[in-house]
Amino acid sequence: MTEPYADPSGRADLIARARAWVDDDPDEVTRAELARLLDRVQGTDEADAAEATEDLADRFAGLLQFGTAGLRGALGAGPNRMNRVVVIRAAAGLMAYLKERVDPEPTVVIGFDARYNSDVFARDTAAVVTAAGGRAMVLPRPLPTPVLAFAIGHLAADAGVMVTASHNPPQDNGYKVYLGDGSQIVPPADADIAAHIGAVPSAASVPLATQGWQTLDDRLVQAYVAAAVGVLDPAGPREVSIVHTALHGVGSAVLVEAFRAAGFPEPSTVLTQSAPDPDFPTVAFPNPEEPGAIDAALALAEQESPDIVIANDPDADRCAVAAPGPDGWAMLRGDEVGALLGWHVIARRIDPTSDRTVLARSIVSSRLLGTMAAAAGLPAAETLTGFKWIGRVPHLAFGYEEALGYCVDPGTVPDKDGISAALMIAEIVAGLRREGRTVREVLDDLAREHGVHQTDAFAVRVEDLTLIGTVMDRLRSTPPQELGGVAVARAEDLAQGSDDLPPTEGLRYYLADDTRAIVRPSGTEPKLKVYLEAIVPVEGELATARQEAARRLAAVRADLEVLTRV
C-alpha cells in the first residue's frame, strides 16, 4: 500500500490532505492522533516512516462508504475511519436528503450504544439536525437497537439513527440509518444519502447547535417494553428458568425489565458480562455466533441447570439460544431458532383473516420455514439478506435470517429484535415445559414432518478486499459442474436479479439432490461467506436421515473450501 506514495509528489499530496483533515477535525483526540502519525511519516527512521505512510494511506484511501448498513468501521482519524468529522458530514448529508425528499423540517430520533464515542456521535448528530431546522430526539441512555427502531414509529419520526457497531470488534463503531417506516435504508435511498454526504465540503462548514434537541425519558423504554410483552399470550404459562448473557452490551437491563413485565421469573445473568463495557473483556469477538462467545453462559448453565440459555449480541438486536442435549449444552443454529419461532407463530399467533400472514426468510436461511408455511396454507416470501429487506415484506407476520435475527412483531418493530424474540423463546419453552417436552423434541417433530433441513456455513476472512472479487470472478468464469460428487442442476448469478429478487452480489447453486449452496461477500465484514443446506426426507430413522444430510454437507463443503480459497 506504500507504493502509490513512494514518489515525492504522491507522498506530499497525502501529507497535505492529512494536514487539511487535522485543521477540519473538531476532536482534539483524533487531531493529536493524526498529528503524531504525520510526525512519523516525516521522521528520519525510514522503516517507521514507511509503516506510518502505509497507515496514513489506508486512512485516506477514501471516505468510509455509506451503504445499506449505513457506516461501519474502525475508530480513528481520517476519512476511512469512524470519527466526528465523518459523523458530522454523514448527519449533514442525511438532513439534506430528508429536507429534499421527506420534510423541510424533519424529525429524527437518535439512539446509541455503549461503545467508545457512541454518545459523542449521537450528540453531534442531534446538533446537526437541530441546526439544520429539524427536530432531534435523543434516547435517554445507551439502549438496544430495537428500542430505537421502535421509537421511530412510536414517535412518528421521519428517520432514525442508531450509533452502534452491533457485534463488531471493540475498535469499531457504526452509524445505522432508518427511514420513517422503521426499516433500514435500501437502494436507491442509500446512494442518494451518500451523494448528499459527498457534497458536504467539510465538517467545519456544517452548523452545530449547542442546545435545542430533546432528550427522551424512560417513558419511551416503558412503551417499548409494553409492546415487546404484547407478543405473548397473556394467559400463557410463565414457569421457566433461563440463563442470559448480554456479552458486555446494552441488552441486560431492558431484557430483565421485559421479563419482569411479562411475568416470567428473572433470568439468571452472567454477571461478568451483564454491564456494558466497550472493551468486551471476556470475549475474543462479541458475537454469539463466534466459538467461545457464550462459554461463560454455558458454564453457568452447567451449574444451574436452567431450561434454556439466551444470549444477545451487544446491541441486543440478535438472539442466540442454547439448549441441553445428549452431549451437554450446545447452541442451536440460527435456522433452528427460526424454525421454532415460525412453528410457534403459525400455531398460535396467525389469524388467517388478518392483514399479517406472510412468513419471510432471507435467501441464505433454511427453506424449512417456507415448507412449514405451505403446509399451513400460509404465504411465504424470500428476500435478500438483511432486515432492510425482510422488514419491508408486505403483510409480514414473522421474518428471520440465519444470523440470529428474528422479527416477531413487525407491526411495532419491523427489524430484528433480540428482546422480543427472547420473550417468545421463553414462552415457547414454558409451554413445552408444561407439556414435559423440549425444544429439541419439537425440532425432531418438524424434521419428521417436513424432512431434515440441515444447514452449515463457513467464512473466508481476507485482509485484502480485492481477493473476494477475485474468487467471485473465478467462480463465474469457471462455474462448478458438480459439488460433493453431485451434479449442479441449476446455477444462478444473483447479481443478475430476478422477478422475485433485486440484484445482489452472490452465486447460488442447486444440486441434483436439492442441496443448496450460496457464495456471497459479507455486507459488514471483510470476508466471503458460504451457506449450505441439505434436505433429506425421513423415511426411516431420523438419525439416519440426519447422518445422510451431514454427509452431503461435508462433501459439498470440502469442494467449496477449495473453490473459495484465496
| Backbone Cα Rg of the chain | 24
Residue 3: what pLDDT? 38
| Assigned fold of 231-450 | Alpha-D-Glucose-1,6-Bisphosphate; Chain A, domain 3 (3.40.120)
Residue 157 pLDDT more than 80? Answer: yes
Beta carbons of 420 and 231 less than 8 angstroms apart: yes
The average pLDDT across 239-243 equals 98
Pairing assessment for the beta strands 308-312 and 319-325 based on DSSP bridges: antiparallel
Sorting pLDDT into bands at 50, 70 and 90, what band is 7?
A: very low
DSSP-derived 3-state class of residue 480: coil
pLDDT digits (tens, 9 = 90+) for 281-303: 999 899 999 999 999 999 999 99
Angle, CA of 13, 18 and 24, to the nearest 5°: 130
Residue with cell 454518545: 119
Residue with cell 471493540: 170
Within 10 Å of residue 13's Cβ, how many Cβ atoms? 14
Cα–Cα dist 38/55, whole Å: 10
Question: Which of 135-139, 349-353, 389-393, 553-557 has the lowest average pLDDT?
Answer: 349-353
Residue 528 pLDDT more than 90? Answer: yes
How deeply is 168 buried, as exposed, middle or buried, from its count of CB atoms within 10 A (0-12, 13-18, 19+)?
Answer: buried
The average pLDDT across 32-46 equals 95
Cα–Cα dist 91/128, whole Å: 6
- The DSSP code sequence of 332-396 is PPHHHHHHHHHHHHHHHT--TTSS--EEEEETTS-THHHHHHHHTT--EEEE-SSHHHHTTSTTE
Sorting pLDDT into bands at 50, 70 and 90, what band is 180?
A: confident
Residue 2: what pLDDT? 33
Determine whether 166 is an active site residue.
yes
Q: One of 118, 166, 183, 274 is an active-site residue; which one?
A: 166
Residue 6: what pLDDT? 44
Residue 8 pLDDT more than 60? Answer: no
Residue 67: what pLDDT? 75
Of 525 and 395, more confident? 395
Does the pTM surpass 0.85? The reply is yes
Strand ranges (E), 15-148: 71-74, 107-112, 135-138
Sorting pLDDT into bands at 50, 70 and 90, what band is 33?
A: very high
Sorting pLDDT into bands at 50, 70 and 90, what band is 37?
A: very high
What is the percentage of the chain residues whose pLDDT exceeds 90? 90
Q: List residues bridging with 530 in a β-sheet.
A: 458, 519
Question: Which of 231-240, 241-250, 289-298, 460-469 has the lowest average pLDDT?
Answer: 460-469
Residue 9: what pLDDT? 47
Residue 1 pLDDT more than 80? Answer: no
Sorting pLDDT into bands at 50, 70 and 90, what band is 463?
A: confident
The average pLDDT across 357-382 equals 97
- The DSSP code sequence of 143-187 is --HHHHHHHHHHTT-SEEEEE--TTS-TTEEEEEEEETTSPBP-T
Residue with cell 448528499: 196
Residue 4: what pLDDT? 38
CATH no., domain 451-563: 3.30.310.50
The 308-312 sheet, strands edge to edge:
268-269, 242-245, 308-312, 319-325, 328-331
* Closest to 124 measured CA to CA, from 156, 155, 182, 83: 83
**Terminal-residue alpha carbon distance, the chain:** 19
> DSSP 3-state helix, strand, coil percentages of the chain (rounded to 5)?
40, 20, 40
Residue 495 pLDDT more than 90? Answer: yes
Q: Is CATH 3.40.1010.10 the classification given to domain 71-216?
A: no
**Where do the structural domains in the chain lie, given as residue ranges?**
3-59, 71-216, 231-450, 451-563
Residue 377: what pLDDT? 93
Around 191, how many Cα atoms within 13 Å sit in the side-chain half-sphere? 2
Residue 351: what pLDDT? 78
416-427 exposure pattern, b = at least 16 Cβ within 10 A, e = fewer: bbbbbbbbbbbb
Beta carbons of 204 and 228 less than 8 angstroms apart: no
Does 231-450 match 71-216 at the fold level?
Answer: yes
- Name residue 268's amino acid: S
Cα–Cα dist 252/418, whole Å: 11
